[in-house]
Amino acid sequence: MQRRNLGSAGLVVSTIGLGCSGMTGDYGIPDDVESTATIHRAIELGVTFLDTSDAYADGRNEQLIAGAIKGQRDGLVLATKFGNIRGPNGERGRVNGKPEHVLKACDASLARLGTDVIDLLYQHRVDPDVPIAETVGAMARLVEAGKVRFIGLCEAGPDTIRRAHATHPLSAVQMEYSLWSRDAEDRILPVLRELGIGLVPYSPLGRGFLTGMFRKRDDLIASDRRHAHPRFQEGNFERNLDLLDTLDQMAHRLGRTPAQVALAWVLSRGADIVPIPGTKRRSWLEQNVAATAIRLAKSDLDALDTAFPPGAASGPRYPEGQLRKLGI
């Protein structure tokens, strides 16, 4: 497994990471045994970059990772997030970027992860009621205290990124980015490259849609969170299926899976980009890792750009209420 640099402060990670959020809910039925085996297999394959958050299953995701990596912590890059507050029944939408919360959340994540340092700490969502310099200032104090090595933001606009980076250098910005979510290209990526900040795409497979595994809405169980996302809802879902034709045909011709071609496209966008496809199954993990060896020809990249131009997907990437709160 090759390595890539995130930012200019010395953070080095595997070319591809492992998104762990789906291991404890949201997508399908949790399976702790298989999820743990998937993390072990990722380490065997050279994946060093594991991504979680204190918001995933109210911290249980961090605890799952802690159990899985016990005795194997050395050489891993643990990334977690704070600030995305869930209600007692999992309600979304609340954000807390107050400095005192930053410090408290970090200590709680350290305890759940069973480690004395977080390699990369993100603010999960920007708090519009707290100046970003105050939040990032608190994160910087955690770096000074040795509790955090590097910091980043998740889903932030260009002005926010600039102000945050001026307070303390950011190593990464995490944002949804894939063939059908290319919002980052216009306003975010140019700023990141100007400032020397890496991009960490989450949902690089379009929340699983680009794998081609879902051909009708009933393929998702009733409790699957994707039913709440506009692109998976009636009408949009069916129109989005048409986008998959070029991807399917190319994958067949290359002897690869649609997911591998979609990941290879993301990886081709720059050496400062490290996707974190999420899975809780070893079989999908192994396919994802194999995508790092694929080098798409220019003609293939051009064909994908034509088939998936910015804005091609039917429906926004989040429900409108959530999208407005991103502030991008």
Q: Which residues are catalytic?
A: 56
CA atoms within 13 A on the CB side of 98: 6
3-state secondary structure 23-72: HHCCCCCCCHHHHHHHHHHHHHCCCCEEECCCCHHHHHHHHHHHHHCCCC
pTM for this model (two decimals)? 0.95
Per-residue pLDDT tens digits for 212-264: 999 999 899 888 889 999 999 999 999 999 999 999 999 999 999 999 999 99
Q: Number of structural domains, the chain?
A: 1
- Which residue from 255, 7, 305, 252 is spatially nearest to 143, judged by alpha carbons? 7
Domain extent, residue 41, equals 3-326
**What is the spatial distance between Cα 295 and Cα 15, in angstroms, rounded to a whole number?**
14
**What is the spatial distance between Cα 227 and Cα 196, in angstroms, rounded to a whole number?**
37
Radius of gyration of the chain (CA): 19
Judge whether residue 86 has pLDDT over 90: no
Across the chain, mean pLDDT equals 95
Per-residue pLDDT tens digits for 119-177: 999 999 999 999 999 999 999 999 999 999 999 999 999 999 999 999 999 999 999 99
φ/ψ of 175, rounded to 5, equals -155, 150
**What is the spatial distance between Cα 138 and Cα 147, in angstroms, rounded to a whole number?**
12
CATH of the domain at 284: 3.20.20.100
Q: Which residues pair with 51 in a beta bridge?
A: 19, 79
**What is the spatial distance between Cα 169 and Cα 162, in angstroms, rounded to a whole number?**
10
